[in-house]
Amino acid sequence: MTKSKQKLETLEFGTYDARYNMALDLHLYTLCENGSNRGFLRFYTWSRPTLSLGHFEDEGVIDMARVLEDGVQVVRRPTGGRVVLHGDDLTYAVIVPGGAGRSMLETYRMISECIVKGLNRLGIEAGLERSTACKSDVTRKPCFVSTSRYEILHGGRKVAGSAQKTGETAVLQHGSIPLGPGYLGVVDYMASGYGDRMTLRSDIDAATTCIYDLLGSCPAPSEVASALALGFAERFDLVERGTHTDVIDREIIDAPQGLEKGVSWPSGVTDKST
């Protein structure tokens, strides 16, 4: 007997500001964590260049004076990991009920396989890193420097950065897929000297790639999102939810989602970042 696919409610693609993006993802996670047994999938872009810090990351890694000078937004993700510069990327959030005999690593592999299938539909021959060892444990470097098991790669270079938040009954995975080379600009906002930043930029450039470099051009973000959704459809039963208003209240969006120490995330969670 064929096992039925797990349902994922898909929300419309859109471009939103940093606080909205993180508030919505956290709210969807909370719905799942509170026992609704609902899964969600959304793809989005950012209305302004934004640095997102991992949940446990020290904001001292970024040069706040430069951030303010350039008008870059800063937000703290509910997921773990390290700093990412958004604005020239496609971001995804997947929220799935935990348990079902899956470990955090198995959930990560499952989601990565969906992304790989979607990238294949775009003509990108991506695959998964199969080694067991993380190739970087540096905590004061951006997300895209490190590579670990089940990472999404093309020719040995990283195609996406991701991080997880796991609770008692839910898993939230964030991912950033560079569309163009803009993600390399994260080094301009690192709190380090010029020489160190240039070395870091070289390291990231050697270890990563973007859709523009792989295809020679870049489809619209919505087209990339549609291809990736088809990858998820091979594993999940996608149910179109449409607008966000069905799943989130305005007061949730208005809650603080910046760097404030008082931001309250659900307790009793662990994180995985790659």
Locate the domains of the chain by residue range: 6-254
Report the alpha-carbon distance of residue 200 to residue 124 in Å, rounded: 26
Whether the CB-CB separation of 96 and 166 falls below 8 Å is answered with: no
Instruction: Report how far residue 91's alpha carbon sits from residue 16's, in angstroms, rounded to the nearest whole number.
Output: 11
Task: Please provide residue 4's backbone torsions phi and psi, each rounded to the nearest 5 degrees.
Answer: -70, 150
Q: What is the pLDDT of residue 99?
A: 55
| pLDDT over 70 (residue 227) | yes
* Statement: residue 141 has pLDDT above 60: no
Dist. CA 46–CA 18, nearest whole Å = 7
- Predicted confidence at residue 256, as pLDDT, reads 45
Q: What separation, in Å, do the N-terminal and C-terminal C-alpha atoms of the chain show? A: 36
State percent of the chain over pLDDT 90. Answer: 64
- Is residue 136 predicted with pLDDT exceeding 50? no
pLDDT of residue 25: 93
pLDDT digits (tens, 9 = 90+) for 229-262: 999 999 999 998 866 655 555 444 444 444 443 3
Given this model, what pLDDT does residue 144 score? 53
CATH 3.30.930.10 fits 6-254, yes or no: yes
Query: What is the rounded average pLDDT for all residues in the chain?
Result: 83
Helices (H), 1-103: 18-31, 64-70
CB half-sphere exposure, 54, CA atoms < 13 A: 26
More confident residue, 168 or 265: 168
- Residue 100, pLDDT > 80, answer no
Tell me which residues are annotated as active site.
Answer: 143
- The three-state secondary structure class of 65 is helix
Residue 263 has what pLDDT? 34
Residue with tokens 């992304």: 115
Position 126 confidence tier, pLDDT thresholds 50, 70, 90: very high
- Only one residue has tokens 């390291």, namely 203
pLDDT in the model for residue 35: 77
pLDDT digits (tens, 9 = 90+) for 26-80: 999 998 888 777 899 999 999 999 999 999 999 999 999 999 999 999 999 999 9
Q: Do residues 88 and 183 make contact, with C-beta atoms less than 8 angstroms apart?
A: yes
Q: Which residue has better confidence, 177 or 130? A: 177
pTM attached to this predicted model = 0.85
Dist CA 89 CA 45 (whole Å): 7
